Amino acid sequence: MTETRQPALTVIILTRDESRHIERCITSVRAIATRTIVVDSGSRDATCDLAAAAGAEVVTHAWTNYAQQFNWGIDHAGDNGGWTMRLDADEVVSPELAASIAAFMASAAGDVAGATIDRGMHFLGRRIRWGGMFPTKVIRLWRTGLGRVENRWMDEHVVVDGAVVHIAGEITDINLNSIGWWTDKHNGYATREAIDQLNRAVTSASGDMGAEARRKRWIKDHVYARLPLGLRPLLYFGYRYVILLGFLDGWQGLAFHGLQGFWYRFLVDAKIAELRRLMAQRGQDLATVVADEYGYRL
Amino acid sequence: MTLTVIIPVLDEAAHIERCLASIGTLAARVLVIDAGSTDGTQDIARRMGAEVLHHAWSSDARQVNWAIDTAGITTEWTFLLHADEIILPGLAARLADLDALPTAPLGFTVVRRLHFLGRWLRRGGLYPERTLRLWRTGHGHCEDRLIGERMIVHGRVGHVAGDIAAINTRNIGWWTDRYNANATREALAQLHDGWPSGAVGGVPVGIRAPAVTLWRYFVRLGCLDGWEGLVYCVLQTGWFRFLVDVKKREVEALMVERGQTLGTVAQNEYGIRLIPLATNGG
In chain B, what residues touch A230 (CB-CB under 8 Å)? 227, 230-231, 234
Q: Are A120 and A135 in contact (CB under 8 A)?
A: yes
Cα A278 off chain centre by: 30
For chain A, how many helices (H) and strands (E)?
Answer: 10, 11
Confidence check: pLDDT of B281 > 50: no
Nearest to residue A134, comparing CAs of A179, A187, A173? Answer: A173
Compute the mean pLDDT over every residue in chain B, rounded to the nearest whole number.
93
Give the list of residues 6+ apart from residue B49 with CB closer than 8 angstroms, or none: B20, B30
Supply the pLDDT for residue B206: 75
Band (A143; pLDDT cuts 50, 70, 90): very high
* CA A274/CA A277 separation, integer angstroms: 5
- Name the pTM for this structure: 0.90
* CA A151/CA A158 separation, integer angstroms: 10
Compute the mean pLDDT over every residue in chain A, rounded to the nearest whole number.
92
**pLDDT tens for each residue of B76-111:** 999 999 999 999 999 999 999 999 999 999 999 999
- The CA R_g of chain B, rounded to the nearest whole Å, is 20
Residues of A with CB under 8 A from a CB of B: 124-125, 178-180, 183-184, 187-188, 190-191, 230, 251, 254-255, 258-259, 263, 266-267, 270-271, 273-274, 277-278, 293-294
To the nearest whole Å, the CA of A130 is away from the closest chain B CA by: 18
Q: Among positive and negative, which fits the CA dihedral B85, A180, A68, A42? A: positive
The rounded percent of chain B whose pLDDT value lies above 90 is 84
CB atoms B250 and A124 under 8 Å: yes
* Percent of chain A that is helix, strand, coil (3-state, to 5): 45, 20, 35
Mutant choice from B242, B243, B246, B258 vs A, greatest count of A C-beta within 10 A: B246
Band (A214; pLDDT cuts 50, 70, 90): confident
Supply the pLDDT for residue A151: 86
**pLDDT tens for each residue of A145-204:** 999 999 888 888 999 999 999 999 999 999 999 999 999 999 999 999 999 899 864 555
CB atoms A293 and B253 under 8 Å: no
CB atoms A178 and B206 under 8 Å: no
* Three-state SS at B25: coil
Give the list of residues 6+ apart from residue A59 with CB closer than 8 angstroms, or none: A37, A38, A39, A40, A73, A76
To the nearest whole Å, the CA of B96 is away from the closest chain A CA by: 36
Band (B275; pLDDT cuts 50, 70, 90): low
The interface pTM score, or ipTM, of the predicted complex is 0.90
Distances (CA, A) of A102 to A95, A96, A142, A233, A287: 11, 10, 13, 41, 45
- Please report which residue ranges of chain B form alpha helices under DSSP H: 16-23, 41-47, 60-70, 89-95, 172-192, 205-214, 226-232, 240-258, 262-270
**pLDDT tens for each residue of A15-41:** 999 999 999 999 999 999 999 999 999
